[in-house]
Amino acid sequence: MFRIKLGDKSYLVEEGESVLETLLRNGIKAPHTCKMAVCKRCISRVVSGDVPRRAQLSLTPKQIYNKRFLPCVCYPESDLDIEIHTTPSHPGDADHRY
């Protein structure tokens, strides 16, 4: 099992659980709508660690370069340190600043 670090807290990812599911289970109000990488509302940034390629398949090259990924379809293969946005945004606003 791996850990997700968000700010100064760390969360254990349970077997078969996505990063988004881990955050929600621990009471983090992570933005999300579809949970299937379609709306991209949950787009987040990895600070350190390796994100599985599946978590970036529907992103642009610029978003990938800027270390963005989709927690809803990210099943970690290592510990991750991430940043999420918690303010409401338009679902199409995928290049916002953190």
Domains plus CATH for the chain?
3-83 (3.10.20.30)
User: Is 3:11 a contact under the CB 8 Å cutoff?
Assistant: yes
H helices of the chain, in order, are 19-25, 61-65
- Between strands 44-48 and 9-12, the pairing is unpaired
Buried b (16+ CB within 10 A) or exposed e, 35-46: bebebbbbbbbb
User: Is 79:59 a contact under the CB 8 Å cutoff?
Assistant: no
DSSP state of 17: -
| pLDDT at residue 92, rounded to an integer | 43
pLDDT at 22 over 70: yes
Question: Quick one: average pLDDT of 13-40?
Answer: 95
Q: How far is CA 84 from the centre of its chain?
A: 7
What is the reported pTM? 0.85
pLDDT at 30 over 60: yes
DSSP state of 13: P
Quick one: pLDDT band at residue 88, thresholds 50, 70, 90? very low
